[in-house]
């Protein structure tokens, strides 16, 4: 797919008066698709003629469906990531299993054992991240306070330690990956250059693991919860939870205790992207919008940030122009599919995008993977 520049939308997204044509917008230029990712909002806003120059708006609506339903067999889904073949990798924190949508899985009971698929054990796997090749799956081992890696391309898909001393008590130490320490790590993501970023929740800090295996603190004062923007360790976080990175190396963090969305530049400058710190569900200007324990985040190649607002049971999007909008869910817990703002979630957690712009959500209390997609009218 050729990389092209996305034209500016002719008007802001307005899902407050959601109708059958809720995402019926026009563009001033031809349809443009970003390489490697087509956001849901692009599909909704682009002309219907593809590359032939047609700018006729697409007709349709945003719909929520159940992509995978595990009933009570595998409960407490924490995260989902989607690979280039549309396989979904899912973490069940309290079942100590990482499973793929075709039935493949890692986890032979609770514990800390590296090695082949047949013997590996994990302790409360939380968030997942695929590298650019799709051959390595990283995950945070919440109980044993370290970051581990699954080599998907190798026979028997062995599990190995990537960084951090396995230690249920947690700790804090920078340095070589074999001696570094984390404290209840949650969100994990890897950038195009191979640096792994970790939301080190127990330390209220964001850590970075270099491709050469050196752990540093990107931002946050380890062991100190609070709120402050600024550079490096002068910034403060309160319960950093999920984490994402964009194509320019900016890191995005949800604070499940601080109820904010924070952004970190490649040089470690922390700013508040959205939220006031007060619990709520107000849409609108980013710094006036409110959240309730957000615990999932993803960013597309056009700068739209997707947020699982867990405490509100809704999915939000933050536009590049700084507007927060609810795109799915009705705040009341439930499991209803259908029209996006009539559908319901129950404590949505991890959120991921596929290459077609669909959004996948780990619906924690419903034991389901939900799909949010733009459906064209017939």
Determine whether 211 is exposed, middle or buried from the number of CB atoms within 10 Å of its CB (0-12, 13-18, 19+).
Answer: exposed
The continuous run of DSSP H or E covering 45 comes out as: helix 40-45
CA torsion angle for 55, 56, 61, 64 (degrees, to 10)? -40
DSSP structural state of residue 273: E
169: left (phi over 0), alpha (psi -120 to 50) or beta: alpha
Euclidean distance between CA atoms 243 and 356, whole angstroms = 21
- DSSP symbols for 281-307: ---EETTT--BSS--EEEE-TTS-EEE
Residue 374: predicted pLDDT: 83
Q: Per-residue pLDDT for 48 more than 70?
A: no
- Average pLDDT on 163-178 reads 96
Residue 9 binned pLDDT confidence (cut-offs 50, 70, 90): very low
**Per-residue pLDDT at 4:** 31
As a dihedral over the C-alpha atoms of residue 284, residue 287, residue 289, residue 295, rounded to 10 degrees, the angle is 130
Torsion of CA 158, 79, 124, 184, to 10 degrees: 110
Between 27-31, 179-183, 334-338, 360-364, the lowest mean confidence (pLDDT) is in: 27-31
Question: Which strands form 284-285's sheet, in the order they lie side by side?
Answer: 284-285, 323-328, 314-318, 305-309, 296-299
> Which tens digits make up the pLDDT trace of 252-280?
999 999 999 999 999 999 999 999 999 99
Beta strands across the sheet bearing 175-176: 175-176, 214-219, 205-209, 196-200, 185-190
- Report the pLDDT value the prediction gives residue 59, as an integer from 0 to 100: 58
| Contact of 348 with 306, CB cutoff 8 Å | no
DSSP letter string, 80-116: EEE-TT-PEEEEETTTTEEEETTS-EE-SSBS-B-BS
CA torsion, ordered 51, 354, 196, 74, to nearest 10 deg: 180
- Residue pair 322/304 in contact (Cβ under 8 Å)? The answer is no
Q: Given pLDDT bands bounded at 50, 70 and 90, which one contains residue 53?
A: very low
DSSP reduced 3-state for 42: helix
Kindly report the average pLDDT of the chain as a whole number.
Answer: 85
Per the listing, tokens 């995005």 go with 252
Q: What is the pTM of this model?
A: 0.87
Judged against a pLDDT cut of 60, whether residue 358 lies above it is answered with yes
> How do residues 124-145 score in pLDDT, each as one tens digit?
999 999 999 999 999 999 999 9
Whether 128 and 350 have beta carbons less than 8 Å apart is answered as yes
Contact 205/199 with Cβ under 8 angstroms? Answer: no
From the list 337, 311, 341, the residue with the least C-alpha distance to 326 is 341
| pLDDT-derived band at 20, boundaries 50, 70, 90 | very low
In Å, the largest CA–CA distance within the chain is 59
**For the ranges 47-51, 55-59, 157-161, 278-282, which has the lowest average pLDDT?**
47-51
Q: Element (H or E) spanning 43, and its range?
A: helix 40-45
């Amino acid at each position: 797919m050729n990389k092209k520049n996305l034209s500016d939308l002719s008007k802001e997204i307005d899902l407050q008066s959601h109708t059958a044509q809720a995402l019926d917008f026009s563009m001033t230029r031809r349809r443009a698709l970003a390489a490697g990712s087509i956001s849901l909002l692009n599909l909704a806003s682009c002309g219907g003629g593809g590359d032939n120059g047609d700018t006729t708006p697409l007709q349709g609506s945003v719909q929520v469906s159940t992509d995978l339903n595990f009933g009570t067999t595998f409960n407490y889904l924490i995260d989902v990531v989607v690979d280039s073949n549309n396989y979904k990798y899912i973490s069940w924190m309290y079942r100590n299993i990482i499973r793929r949508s075709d039935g493949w899985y890692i986890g032979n009971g609770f514990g800390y054992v590296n090695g082949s698929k047949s013997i590996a054990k994990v302790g409360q796997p939380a968030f997942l991240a695929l590298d650019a090749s799709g051959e390595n799956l990283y995950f945070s081992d919440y109980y044993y306070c370290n970051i581990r890696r699954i080599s998907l391309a190798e026979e028997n898909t062995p599990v190995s330690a990537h960084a951090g001393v396995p230690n249920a008590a947690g700790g804090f130490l920078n340095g070589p990956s074999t001696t570094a320490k984390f404290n209840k790590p949650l969100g994990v993501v890897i950038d195009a250059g191979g640096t792994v970023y970790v939301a080190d929740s127990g330390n209220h800090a964001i850590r970075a693991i270099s491709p050469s295996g050196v752990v540093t603190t990107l931002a946050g004062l380890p062991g100190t919860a609070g709120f402050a923007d600024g550079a490096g360790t002068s910034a403060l976080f309160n319960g950093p939870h999920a984490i994402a990175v964009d194509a320019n190396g900016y890191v995005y963090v949800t604070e499940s205790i601080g109820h904010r969305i924070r952004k970190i530049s490649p040089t470690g400058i922390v700013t508040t992207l959205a939220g006031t710190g007060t619990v709520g569900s107000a849409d609108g200007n980013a710094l006036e919008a409110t959240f309730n324990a957000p615990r999932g985040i993803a960013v597309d190649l056009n700068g739209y940030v997707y947020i699982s607002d867990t405490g509100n049971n809704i999915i939000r999007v933050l536009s590049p122009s700084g507007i927060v909008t609810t795109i799915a869910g009705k705040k009341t817990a439930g499991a209803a599919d259908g029209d996006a703002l009539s559908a319901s979630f129950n404590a949505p957690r991890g959120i991921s995008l596929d290459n077609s712009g669909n959004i996948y959500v780990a619906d924690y209390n419903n034991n389901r993977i939900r799909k949010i997609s733009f459906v064209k009218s017939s």
